[in-house]
A and B are shown apart, each in its own frame.
Chain A
Amino acid sequence: MASYWDRSTFWRGFRDGLPFVLVVGPFGMLFGVVATEAGLPLEQVMSFSIVVIAGAAQFTALQLMADNAPTIVVIASALAVNLRMAMYSASMTPHLGGLPAWRRALVAYSLVDQSYALSVMEYEKRPEMTLAQKTSYFAGVIAPVLPNWYIATLVGALVGQSIPDSFALDFAVPITFLAMIGPMLRTKAHVAAAMVSVICALLFAFLPWNLGLIVAGIAGMMTGAFVELRTENKDMT
């Protein structure tokens, strides 16, 4: 059996993933608190975090359930929030598509914003990485983050409403995303893609089910590809 274990790369991923414990922790806790306050029993709060592992989608579902939206609307809206995961999946495929099916299933289960963004950054920075190293890095990133998500949800559900508002936890998530975007802006194509994404996300924010983000994502990807192609052609002439 092929080995996908590369110890030093795993630990590099672990080190890179570790700081996100500080972000995922409060976010998971917040979900535990809010879901418990909404009246969900502990086993349902925990099932949400273990089965779905997607904070934004989980909050969307809670909100719509509180508004008494029809079940199908709750499910469809929450999944729409998660549509970006399909884009992450596509983006990971050239790197991790060579794994056996059950390992790809494990990667898919643990594909979240943080594990995706850190891994893709690393793969681009070190194109010489082997499949084993890429796999180990991904596993390393997720190792501290995922258990923390479960535990934080549990703590939130048990501790309840004792987190003061002045912690501004709402902004923990935007800050970590922004922190990951900064280092990604390596070329003109990356910057252009990001700018188009922001403009489209704001212009199309009125669309239901978070579809504005999908429009922004597709427009951003097309922009990046277009600028890259044009820059390449210019280099050749």
Chain B
Amino acid sequence: MSESTTIWVIIVAMGMGSFGLRFLFLGVIGDRELPEWVLRHLRYTAVAVLPGLVAPLVLWPAATEGQPDPARLAAAAVTLGVGFVTKNVLAAIFGGAATLFLGMYFL
């Protein structure tokens, strides 16, 4: 198998697999009623996945070879804080970005 064919295999398999994962529940369950205990768990999907996704990126950024970086830590804290207080995603993004650039410049 040539290298190009291998890459095509990877692309197609990843595409089908990713779609399969995304369609898994939407497609199979559709509008059937889910039991209350399942719904209770699903309500917390977003807050259970996203924080776990970012925590390692914040603590051990690849850009600094996994060393904790004061500018990135400060930016993360400000983003989370502004988002929590204002409930405004955009304000949080700009607050965090500003902190990151100020931090990289001064720290």
Q: Which residues of A contact B (CB under 8 A)?
A: 16, 19, 22-23, 40-41, 44, 47-48, 51-54, 57-58, 61, 65, 71, 74-75, 78-79, 82-94, 96-98, 101, 104-105, 107-109, 111, 113, 116-118, 120-121, 124, 165-166, 168, 170-185, 189-190, 193-198, 200-202, 205, 212-213, 216-225, 228-229
Q: Nearest A residue to B23 by beta-carbon distance?
A: A108
Contact A105 B27 (CB under 8 A): yes
Q: Which residues of A contact B21 (CB under 8 A)?
A: 79, 82-83, 85-86, 89
Q: Which residues of A contact B59 (CB under 8 A)?
A: 202
Bound state CA distance, A112 and B9, in angstroms?
23
Contact B26 A89 (CB under 8 A): yes
Q: Which residues of B contact A173 (CB under 8 A)?
A: 57
Bound state CA distance, A211 and B42, in angstroms?
19
Contact pick for A71, options B10, B27, B47, B54, CB 8 Å:
B10
Contact B46 A116 (CB under 8 A): yes
Bound state CA distance, A108 and B101, in angstroms?
36
Q: Give how many B residues have a beta carbon under 8 Å from the other chain's beta carbons.
A: 72
Contact A87 B45 (CB under 8 A): yes
Question: C-beta contact mask, B60-85 vs A, less than 8 Å → 1, else 0?
Answer: 01110000000010011001111111
Contact A171 B61 (CB under 8 A): yes
Contact B18 A65 (CB under 8 A): no
Minimum distance in angstroms from A216 CB to a CB of chain B: 3
What does DSSP make chain A's interface, helix, strand, loop or mixed?
helix
Contact A178 B80 (CB under 8 A): yes
Can you list 28 pairs linking A and B with CB atoms under 8 Å apart?
Answer: A44-B8, A58-B14, A61-B10, A61-B14, A75-B10, A78-B14, A79-B18, A90-B25, A101-B27, A108-B22, A120-B46, A170-B61, A174-B58, A177-B50, A179-B89, A179-B90, A182-B81, A182-B83, A183-B83, A183-B88, A194-B47, A197-B52, A213-B52, A217-B48, A220-B49, A224-B40, A224-B43, A225-B43
| Known A-B contacts A19-B89, A171-B72, A182-B80; A224 and B41 likewise in contact (beta carbons under 8 Å) | yes
Contact B34 A178 (CB under 8 A): no
Q: Which of A85, A117, A200 counts the most chain B CB atoms within 10 A? A: A85
